[in-house]
With several copies, the nearest count.
Chain A
């Protein structure tokens, strides 16, 4: 189980290569890459994203999500790498990978981790555009995606 915060741009393909190199006979690997989009949902050009984080709770929240995925699905190995600080459009914000004997568990674990990361990972995301900056909150679809896994939702 490998979970880390990245301050700098990282290569998702290298993460995938390292992750698969560490496997021991699993048949299925699902990975997800979240990439900083060049346009805001309004259509405005995004110059950069800034991910504010908490010095301890942010990594703690990633570890909790990873442990929950491991406990919940039959996955033998997983990885989360999440940027913090400034991220340029086109750069990878988050890399998630899950390996399992069979594909269903790997798909579900990756899907679950992403849904939880969107609402429960301790980050605050700001889009900087030529017209100004805007702090992002999860949308309704993020909360309902999170609730698909029907534990007690974290939303107040």
Chain B
């Protein structure tokens, strides 16, 4: 599964990484695995202020990743 990063996560982890989701894996579980792999971004990856997005929709922590090709992590917004 592709993982897309924005804002400060893009700075620390790059535009995109690729890691397969486990069978029956939720967003919450995936965050924990990612945080272990990328300790430099663990704080953000585990923060619920950093939202998870699949197929252009914000998804909850119990969302099942099976069958999806891409997840994105969106830090807090700052426009205007």
Contacts and interface: CB of A to CB of B under 8 A. Distances in A.
Contact of A118 (B11, B48, B75, B80): B80
A137 B78 contact: yes
Contact of B80 (A54, A56, A60, A93): A93
Contacts of A135: 7-8, 11, 75, 78
Contact of B79 (A56, A122, A156): A122
Interface string B57-78: 0000000000000001011111
Interface of A: 34, 51-52, 54, 56-57, 60-61, 82, 93-94, 114, 117-126, 133, 135-138, 156
Contact of A125 (B51, B72, B79): B79
A119 B79 CA distance: 7
A125 B77 CA distance: 8
A58 to B, nearest CB: 8
Contacts, number: 64
Contacts of A126: 7-8, 11
* B interface majority secondary structure: loop
B79 A118 contact: yes
Interface of B: 6-8, 10-11, 48-49, 51, 53, 56, 72, 74-80
A34 B78 contact: no
B78 A118 contact: yes
Report, nearest first, the 5 A-B pairs whose CB atoms are least far apart. A124-B7, A121-B79, A117-B80, A123-B79, A135-B8
